[in-house]
Structures are given as C-alpha cells and as structure tokens.
Structure 1
Amino acid sequence: MHIRPDDVPTMSFDWGTITWFVTPASVPGAATSQGEVIVYPGRGHERHNHPDAEELIYVVSGEAEQTVGDGEPFTIREGEGVWVPTGVYHSTHNRSWRPLRLVVTYSPGGAEAALTEAPDFRSDGAGMPVLWRREG
C-alpha cells in the first residue's frame, strides 16, 4: 500500500505536528503505527508515557534533548535512534533554531488515539498546510 503525506490528515499541537502514515485504525491489518513528527524550534512535549506500546524514534534531521525514564537528558541527532520501552516516561525538546524531523513507530499501534485528548490538539485535513503559530 502506497501512502502519501497529502492523503492523510495531520495532528497539530502547540509544539509541532504528527502525520500518521499507518495506524491500525487507518490501514486494515496494520499492527503498528508510524508517522512523521515535526517539533518546532524551541518547543517540545513534556514527559508522558504510552502504557500499552513501545516507541521507536528515528531522527531524520535536527537535534533535540531527549529523556527516557529517570535517566539524564541526552542529545539526539540526525541519523540516531531512540527506543522507549512500553510504559516508560519520556520527553523530546528541540533546543535548536531549526525544525526537528522524526519518524516514530508505536508497537503495537493505536497509542496515537490518545493524542486527540490533548488540550492543544487540532486536526488539519489531508493535504492542508499547517500554519506555525508564534508566541508573544
């Protein structure tokens, strides 16, 4: 199955966007979820966990401060990966001036459904440009 970014909606948040290419809800028979995350410069998401899924993060471009569990924050860069075990708290903060691009995979898929409950969640239709918002 060929999936183009313009064919799927984008989840928008104050910190960035996620475009899910594959989820169990959108692709019959899919067991995992995979999408592209863009974290805006100077933004990030706070510590959270996925109680029923592990997460794999691959850095396409950019650099960020990452936490996994109770360990010390560490820098992730282009070409690197991070594995977050099931239920472990983690966070990602883009400390640079350029966008951070990640590919994330949840296994098993479905954990992305909880993101629609975030207070800053917006859904942008398939193929629609996402407008970045600047704070004061």
Structure 2
Amino acid sequence: MEPTPHRPDSVPTWLFDWGRIKWRITPGTAPGTELTVGDVDVHPGKGHDRHRHPESDEVIYVLSGTGEQTVGDGPAFPVAAGDAVHVPRGVLHSTFNTGWSTLRLVVVYSPAGAEEALRAAPDFREAPAGEHPGAVNR
C-alpha cells in the first residue's frame, strides 16, 4: 500500500457552535484503520457538553491554546499546549476553551467510530472538502 498524506482540504469540515473538526483518518479515509484522528478547534470562550463514547477510548493532545478539561466525576483541570489527556471509554468528559485564541487539539479514538455520533448534535453542519469555513483554515 502506498502511503498517502491525509490533507485538510481532502476531507469535509464539521461545524458546531463551539468549534469545528476535520476528521483526517477514519475508516472512510483509510480503509481498514481501527483509529480515528481529527483536528479539533474550540472557539474562545466555548466548549462542548459533557458526553461519553461507550465503545471508544479517546486521547486529546493540545497543540495550542488553553482550556479546561473534565474526565469523569473529578473537577475541571487546566490544559495547555503539549498536554495529553486520556479519556477511557464510557467516561463522561468535556473540553472548554478558557483563552482568547483558538484551542487547537488532535483527537484520537480507538477503536474508530465514535465520531459518527457527533452528526446527531443539534448544531452539526458540514462544509464540503475544499471549502474553507471560518477565519482560520487548516
């Protein structure tokens, strides 16, 4: 199999009131994969509701910005560039941007598939691959 970069303009952008996601590696973009990898931008002062992924672990890696993360019943804790957070499958969690700039994350689900539940969010919208919604593009 020939290696292929999964460039941002080759996948749709999922838009939400709190931010946006580009799923780079999914079973649809890399047949046979058991991982999902996505770029997540959380707008300043925004975050997503607590939720869980019953069938997948999640790893969140902070590229830039500052935020608060919850995992389970514990209190929110600060996160910043270089931090990595593991969220075990089935555990409630949330992410909130506490800074003035975009909180940029890389998110990994194992096994793949947890991303599909986000399509049911009431604020879900999808911009086609190649379109550049918003002020900051990948």
Q: State the TM-score bracket (shorter-chain normalisation).
A: over 0.9
Among residues 43, 47, 52, which one is paired with 2:46 in the alignment? Answer: 43
* 1:91 and 2:94 matched: yes
* 1:29 and 2:37 matched: no
Give 1:112 deviation, angstroms: 0.4
User: 1:58-102: CA deviations, max 9, x gaps?
Assistant: 000001010000011100000010000000000000011110000
In the other structure, the counterpart of 1:123 is 126
- 1:24 and 1:6 mapped to 2: Cα distance? 18
In the other structure, the counterpart of 2:70 is 67
Give 1:127 deviation, angstroms: 1.7
What amino acid sits opposite 1:102 in the alignment?
A: L
User: Under a length normalisation based on structure 2, what TM-score does the superposition of the two structures give?
Assistant: 0.93
In the other structure, the counterpart of 2:59 is 56
Runs of 4+ more than 6 Å apart: none
In the other structure, the counterpart of 1:7 is 10
Give 1:131 deviation, angstroms: 2.7
Give 1:24 deviation, angstroms: 1.3
Segments of 5+ residues of structure 2 without an aligned counterpart are none
- 1:130 and 1:16 mapped to 2: Cα distance? 11
- 1:110 and 1:23 mapped to 2: Cα distance? 8
Among residues 100, 103, 125, which one is paired with 2:103 in the alignment? Answer: 100
Query: Matched residue pairs, number?
Result: 132
SS in 1 for 2:50: strand
What amino acid sits opposite 1:29 in the alignment?
A: G
User: Under a length normalisation based on structure 1, what TM-score does the superposition of the two structures give?
Assistant: 0.94
What amino acid sits opposite 1:103 in the alignment?
A: V
Segments of 5+ residues of structure 1 without an aligned counterpart are none
- Across the aligned residues of Structure 1 and Structure 2, the Cα RMSD in angstroms comes to 0.9
